[in-house]
Amino acid sequence: MNTKPVNLLDYDVDALVDWFAAQGEKPFRARQVMRWLHREGCTDFGAMTNVAKSLRARLSEIACVTPPTPISDKVSSDGTRKWLLDVGSGNAVETVFIPEVRRGTLCVSSQAGCALDCAFCSTGKQGFNRNLSAAEIIGQLWLANRLLGGDADGERVVSNVVMMGMGEPLANFDNVVTALRLMLDDHAYGLSRRRVTVSTSGIVPAMDRLRDECPVALAVSLHAANDALRDRLVPINTKYPLKDLLAACNRYLDRAPRDFVTFEYVMLDGVNDSERDARDLVAIAREVSCKYNLIPFNPFPGSPFRRSPAERIRRFASILAEAGIVATTRKTRGDDVDAACGQLAGKVLDKTRRTVRLVEDTR
């Protein structure tokens, strides 16, 4: 009976050691192959020259290296690059690379669509189909490294990864953590915990699990400073209100690689951009060590929201700064190829029938 080959991109080092043990191989073989897979981007087992010839032949029969397949590759006028990746069954997700002077940031998706339906997000309006596998998540980094090549010194140009693409990462906890462990592993990508960020809308039990199992930098999609407004903008708030969310942030900081949480705050004209809103954010900063990342709203078809005027954003930021709080205003990147924050949509065969579904507690 033919058995479907195992995609080795699905395994972190511990799982790969166990898989090789089941094949009668010693642990060092897993680490050898992992370096070929992730550091070299190798898909041909026959080319893994320091692996025993008999094992190479066996791997060619029972295993594979299969990242998502690119459907399109667009480059913005500002150098931002967006890939649409086929993840099967009529679904496609988007991955974005943002080049900057001292770093290159890859924005990675975790789900085909999103069930949380945040009011200002294009992805949520697509509905939800399924979680991505670990291979489909880490495969986005694998592909980016291969397609982007190295810099003038031969170093990889992806220096930072943010789990801020399509989907809610903590609603796909196990697969996301497997991918995170690969990002951090010296046999794979060797990124610092400070250079890998998970962004969540606020699934409190999963935030606690992440703190215990794989603490990386944390960003929280805040977008409102009171429960009434946040219930409207970020529906998961009805299940995990601000009091619970802020307490979870403080617990997370006990083990986080950074001494602050980044609060993402999209600036919506006449909705959450008043001076009162800014002062309420100052009060939150007294409860949680944080930085604010103000995001000018990026419009998409059918959205009822507008971007706050530039002067109002500037005044909003100055109120925070005057209170001694670090607040940055995100530059809009890649909006001419719909690659800006909140614009990622991909292609999703919605299984939710556009009904908001709050994810169950992560246990």
pLDDT score of 362: 40
The domains found in the chain, sorted by start residue, are 6-64 (1.10.150.530), 69-337 (3.20.20.70)
At residue 192's C-alpha, the angle toward residues 221 and 209, to 5°, is 50
Condensed to tens digits (0 to 9), the pLDDT of residues 171-192 reads 999 999 999 999 999 999 999 9
Per residue in 306-344, is it b (16+ CB within 10 Å) or e — as a string? ebbeeebbeebbebbeeeebebebbebbbbebbbbbbbb
Query: Would you say residue 341 has pLDDT above 80?
Result: no
Say if residues 231 and 223 touch (Cβ distance below 8 Å).
no
Chain centroid to CA 329: 20
Contact by Cβ (8 Å): 190, 184: yes
Position 340 pLDDT exceeds 80: no
| Per-residue model confidence (pLDDT) at position 354 | 45
Kindly state the tokens that stand for 64. Answer: 């594979």
- Across the range 138-146, mean pLDDT stands at 96
Strand order in the sheet with 327-329: 69-75, 81-88, 91-99, 104-107, 160-163, 196-200, 217-221, 261-267, 290-296, 327-329
Residues labelled as active-site residues: 94, 341
State how far the Cα of 180 lies from the Cα of 138, in Å rounded to an integer. 8
User: Within the chain, where are the H helices?
Assistant: 13-22, 27-34, 53-62, 122-125, 134-148, 173-184, 204-213, 227-233, 242-253, 275-285, 310-322
Instruction: Please give the mean pLDDT across all residues of the chain.
Output: 90
Q: What is the pTM of this model?
A: 0.91
Q: What is the pLDDT of residues 189-225, one digit of tens each?
A: 999 999 999 999 999 999 999 999 999 999 999 999 9
